[in-house]
Amino acid sequence: MDHGDMQMQGGPAPADARDPHAYSGGFTLESGPYVLPGARQLRLADEHYRGGLLIDRLERVYTSEEDSWAYDGQAWFGRDYDRLVLKGEGDIADGELAEASTELLWGHAIAPLWDTQLGVRYDTGHGPDQGWLAFGVQGLAPYWFEVDATAYLGEDGQTAFALETEYELLLTQRLVLQPRMEMNLYGKDDAERMTGKGLADLAAGLRLRYELTRQFAPYVGVEWAKSFGNTADFAREDDDKTEETRWLAGVRFWF
């Protein structure tokens, strides 16, 4: 039997198949007999402004030498494709802000699960305060790994790169195990701020949280942190530890 002249069911797609107005009969949201008076009332999902706040880590940190608080979160406001993003993380020791990093970014969607981010970062803490230009990507990698990778250009030609990645493993519908890793690299030594060229520090940990609701979850965890290279040498000169294990207890929430 010769199937050479047979076509797929329905035949070829029309030339204007991707035109959203091709089958509207000439009616649009701005013209025609069904248009409502006044300003346009019907708006699609990607035309709405939305905002949110995620506090990924608000935790008490216990070490062999001293206890402290740590926070890490971000807020955003905008539409699906473009939004303003505010990120912040830092440590609080003895009731004072020991170090902090704050970023103000413009995020633009480049794929269904990925945004590019461009903006500025400001650091306080060890040594003089420092400002940076920031460019990075944030999104969901294959196999559901959350990734936040950013390159920075600072004062006097200093460069840096920060990478954060985490994964959520559902043990039950409410019990979630979250592996997390964070590292920082620098382009050259900066003795005033105690950072060395190359891989400066690495932190890897596990957090086990129980979601009382999807928006609110207390957790406990453990984290290993280590400094490398010249960053470790600067720490030794200042009588700081270059490696430690941290025990954690905190809460994660969003709205």
Return the CATH number of the domain spanning residue range 52-254.
2.40.160.40
Residue type for 243, please? E
Q: What is the pLDDT of residue 38?
A: 74
Q: What is the pLDDT of residue 167?
A: 97
Q: What is the pLDDT of residue 46?
A: 74
Tell me the C-alpha distance between 182 and 162, whole Å.
8
Q: Is 163 exposed, middle or buried (0-12, 13-18, 19+ CB in 10 A)?
A: middle
> What does the domain layout of the chain look like in residue ranges?
52-254
DSSP 213: B
Q: CA 38 → CA 30, 42, 45, distances in Å?
A: 10, 12, 20
CB-based contact 198:190 (threshold 8 Å):
no
Tell me the C-alpha distance between 23 and 14, whole Å.
11
- For the record, the structure tokens of 169 come out as 């493993």
Tell me the C-alpha distance between 185 and 14, whole Å.
53
Q: What is the pLDDT of residue 183?
A: 98
Calculate ∠ Cα 236-152-119, nearest 5°.
Answer: 135
pLDDT tens string 78-133: 998 999 999 999 999 988 889 999 999 999 999 989 999 999 999 998 889 999 99
pLDDT tens string 149-184: 999 999 889 999 999 999 999 999 999 999 999 999
Tell me the C-alpha distance between 81 and 108, whole Å.
5
Q: What is the pLDDT of residue 116?
A: 98
Q: Of all residues in the chain, what percent carry a pLDDT higher than 70?
A: 86
Tell me the C-alpha distance between 104 and 178, whole Å.
26
Name the CA radius of gyration of the chain, rounded: 25
Residue 33 has pLDDT above 80, yes or no: no
| 15-22, long-range: CB < 8 A, 24+ apart | none
Lowest mean pLDDT among 104-108, 137-141, 155-159, 250-254: 155-159
pTM, two decimal places: 0.83
pLDDT tens string 175-231: 999 999 999 999 999 999 999 999 999 999 999 999 999 999 999 999 999 999 999
Coil vs helix vs strand at 8: coil
What average pLDDT is seen over the chain? 90
